[in-house]
Amino acid sequence: MTSPQLTQNKWDFSSFAQSVRSLGLDEPSIADSPVGPTIVSRQEITNFAAVNFLNLHNRPDVMQAFCTGAQRYGLAIGGSRFTAGQGLTYAHQEMERGIAALAGRQRAVSFASGLLANIGFCHAMTHSLSVTKGVEIDNTDVVFVLDRDSHWSLWKGLEHLTYGDRLFSFKHNNCADLDRVLSDLSGKRVVVVFESVYSVDGSVAPMNQLIDVCERHGAMSYVDDANGWLVYGPSHRPFAFEYTGLKRATFVMVSMKKAVGLEGGAIVGSDDDILMLETHSGTAAFTAAMLPPAAAATSYIMKLLTVDEPEIVDTYLSKVVDFRKKLIDAGLPINDTPTFFTSIQVGDERTSMALRRACFARGYQVPSFSYPVTRRNQAVLRLILNNGHTDEHIDGLIETLTDLRRVYPFGTDPTTPAPAVGTRPR
């Protein structure tokens, strides 16, 4: 058996763990209740961290849809997607057809999470596959160009590529820089990747212009719409023009985690393109799909938000406007773009983490995002308003942040550029 001293000297896990503990990152809050506008974690905490912001999982009809799916299909499936008779249920098929229809595409393939969808796409589009003679595909020459602020899962899925050879980036939401990069890649098979809504600074991609650039250069486009799906797009909602461009993207990834509030993801596109991904992605073919009751509940929620009660989203977005106004009136430095992601600009990483701990001590859960999620020294507290938050919850948070600002000065420079999400080559 390796001695503790030898292990420490060789691997240095102990010193890293000690550093993590010094930042207070070794004790995540544990919920003993449904995660929504509040959670119980030894005591009741007002929660501004939950990404299931519509709070639909607390509705009895949604819970009933989930339970009915569990009773019909069971709690889990017995294998991966292509394991005969075990990998999918009719709940998955109905959900995928519904997602494709809402996106205006021919076909969808679902994954256990949005992260697995992104990684599976990156794998399929950069590797070769030979099932048998004549059933082969070779994507080993494909080049990727990412918005520099793309999500960690996209950079992670492509880390096997050499930057400057088959992997490039363009400045965040900068169409001219994308055009420059693609001009240098003329004649190559290129996939351009960006997000619709970026979760840390709340910025929205100029999707029409970015897709224009892709089409002009003959490049495929892959848009990560994890954050905006089922929230933005309709003509009466914010960013409707930007979302018209999404309809022209080659591939679109959607996540169930945000508006739906369940774990899962999917990619939509043409019939042939998606069949290639189903077969070649790895994260669809070699691991289990979403849980059957989650797939059943997703179909129910999609209909709820688009047909039966679309006002759920409209009401929520109105609350976001009011929430942002209260923060601005209190003099708190928030991000410019008025999406449902509201970030308090802090700057220093340790200050941001100290603020997180101080907020929790006063009964408020707020996540601190710092490098490598943001650029160095551009840490933020990312707040997500929940549809179940009351005026008392909001006013209490603002009072807490205002008080703590006297102890931990932050955001004193209103011209500080908005932080960015993702990991990028240095």
CA gyration radius for the chain?
Answer: 22
The per-residue pLDDT for 298 is 98
Per-residue pLDDT of 131-142, as tens digits, reads 888 788 999 999
Confidence of residue 162 (pLDDT cuts 50, 70, 90): very high
pTM of the model: 0.91
Q: Distance between CA 263 and CA 110 in Å, rounded? A: 11
Q: Which helix (H) or strand (E) holds 266?
A: strand 265-269
Confidence of residue 419 (pLDDT cuts 50, 70, 90): very low
Q: What is the mean pLDDT of the chain?
A: 91
- Torsions phi, psi of 337, nearest 5? -75, 125
The per-residue pLDDT for 93 is 95
Mention every residue, 6+ apart, whose C-beta is less than 8 A from residue 31: 39, 40, 41
Taking residues 2-9, what's their average pLDDT? 56
Please tell me which residue, 191 or 371, carries the higher pLDDT value: 191
User: Is pLDDT of 81 > 90?
Assistant: no
Mention every residue, 6+ apart, whose C-beta is less than 8 A from residue 14: 8
Q: At what angle do helices 292-303 and 60-73 cross, to 10 degrees?
A: 140
Alpha helices in 304-379 (DSSP H): 311-329, 349-361
Per-residue pLDDT of 330-368, as tens digits, reads 999 999 999 999 999 999 999 999 999 999 999 999 999
The closest of 227, 222, 223 to 199, measured between CA atoms, is 227
Please tell me which residue, 86 or 422, carries the higher pLDDT value: 86
Mention every residue, 6+ apart, whose C-beta is less than 8 A from residue 349: 370, 371, 376, 377, 379
Q: Distance between CA 269 and CA 275 in Å, rounded? A: 9
**Token couple for 383:** 């707040």
Taking residues 259-283, what's their average pLDDT? 94
Domain architecture of the chain: domains with CATH: 20-49+310-407 (3.90.1150.10), 60-308 (3.40.640.10)
The per-residue pLDDT for 134 is 79
Confidence of residue 209 (pLDDT cuts 50, 70, 90): very high
The closest of 61, 26, 63, 31 to 49, measured between CA atoms, is 31
Confidence of residue 414 (pLDDT cuts 50, 70, 90): very low
- Paired with 274 in beta bridges are none
Instruction: Let me know the angle formed at the C-alpha of 150 by 146 and 155, rounded to the nearest 5 degrees.
Output: 75
User: Is pLDDT of 423 > 60?
Assistant: no
The per-residue pLDDT for 285 is 80
- Paired with 252 in beta bridges are 223, 268
Q: Distance between CA 201 and CA 334 in Å, rounded? A: 9
- Torsions phi, psi of 330, nearest 5? -80, 0
For 243-308, where are the E strands, in sequence order?
A: 251-255, 265-269
Mention every residue, 6+ apart, whose C-beta is less than 8 A from residue 67: 293
Please tell me which residue, 10 or 405, carries the higher pLDDT value: 405
The per-residue pLDDT for 371 is 85
The per-residue pLDDT for 241 is 97
Q: Distance between CA 213 and CA 220 in Å, rounded? A: 10
The per-residue pLDDT for 426 is 27
**Token couple for 404:** 């703590």
